[in-house]
Amino acid sequence: MFKVGYFGLKPGICRFGELVLCHEEKATCAFYDGLLMAHRIALIGGDGIGPEVTAEAVKVVRATGVAIDTTDFDLGGMRYLRDGEILSDDVLNQLRKFDAILLGAVGTPDVPPGIIERGLLLKMRFDLDLYVNQRPFVGTAPGHVTPHDFVVIRENTEGPYVGEGGVLRRGTPHEIATQGSVNTRHGVERCIRYAFELAAKRERKHVTLVHKTNVLTFAGDLWQRAFNDVAAQFPQVGTAYNHVDAACIYFVEDPHRYDVIVTDNLFGDILTDLGGAVSGGIGLASSANLNPARTGPSMFEPSHGSAPDIVGTGKANPTAAILSAALMLDFLNESAAADRIRAACDAAPTGSTVDIGNAIAAIVAGK
């Protein structure tokens, strides 16, 4: 008998011949004759140090004992240079069949900016509806003695990144370039709701909206009204508002004030790099691109780039990739294993890329 569990389905049993679907909330695992089946993970090592850090992340996940079945996809800048392939519809449809996607890093100096970012990363975000970007930040900022612990929730499929705009009279003295920001009530509200649902599960239970409502009055008004409407449904969660420029100052001077931050695509992109800088460095910053509706796989990746200058040197720190894999396990309802990974990373092993991966894997495995 084959049994498959899915997230987010109401209790009940549906039978299709020998196929039994266990419609239990938060069920994720598949079983065949009582044997645990593996989570199906698509691996995109990508470019530069991406394959190196992804290999260590997979090693650590396997050390937890969680069963995973991985399939490698050759995507990124080097693939584009080789045959012009970025992300075909056929490959995208293959990715839809997986439980999660683990990505290393993409980008190479020989590919002009924007080609891989839009053709691969943004295409996955838009087509797989990865509308929440979640980045946790735990650390002690420079000049502080007590650690902070906050999460940035970034709307991931709208704003200036949708590509609305264009160029007129290119290359002339009268050239005009416009870049619009698209914000829908549906997109804004579902992101804000996710932030409140997350905050309601955390100890401090607080959400801060970050925007620039005094200047971006149209988009800002939509964000503020949606924020207020959702907040009214979560009376147990405290709220605040910061302009984005003030938030940048607070990230440096007083990061402890934050619990959960929710913001738009552009501001979130900028703030999360600063969050990494005050939390031990971008090499430790993990990231989850989530489809909370679970209509397809979510994608997990470190925040750092492909660092082609250190490929093969053993200098790449795989911790961010490993912590991103922990976020993946959280999403797959393997939070106990994810917590073990985070605890092992707290030990801050040093050494080469492989040394760090081996040390964290050993701690996770209890060796």
Written as one string, the DSSP assignment of 230-251 is HHTT-TTSEEEEEEHHHHHHHH
What count of residues does the chain have? Answer: 367
The CA–CA distances, whole Å, from 21 to 4, 32, 50, 292 equal 5, 12, 36, 20
Look-up: residue for tokens 């503020």?
224
99 part of the active site? no
- Give, in degrees to the nearest 5, the angle at Cα 270 between 202 and 278: 60
Look-up: residue for tokens 């971008």?
282
123 part of the active site? no
Look-up: residue for tokens 């985070």?
342
367 part of the active site? no
**Other Cβ atoms closer than 10 A to 102:** 26
Given 59, 80, 131, 161, the catalytic residue: 161
127 part of the active site? no
Given 74, 127, 149, 269, the catalytic residue: 269
> Among residues 47, 72, 48, which one has the least CA distance to residue 58?
72
Given 212, 259, 264, 330, the catalytic residue: 212
Given 72, 245, 254, 346, the catalytic residue: 245
SS3 59: helix
Given 127, 273, 339, 355, the catalytic residue: 273
Which DSSP state fits 271? H
SS3 87: coil
> Among residues 44, 45, 53, 41, which one has the least CA distance to residue 345?
53
CA atoms within 13 A on the CB side of 311: 17
273 part of the active site? yes
Cite the active site residues: 161, 212, 245, 269, 273
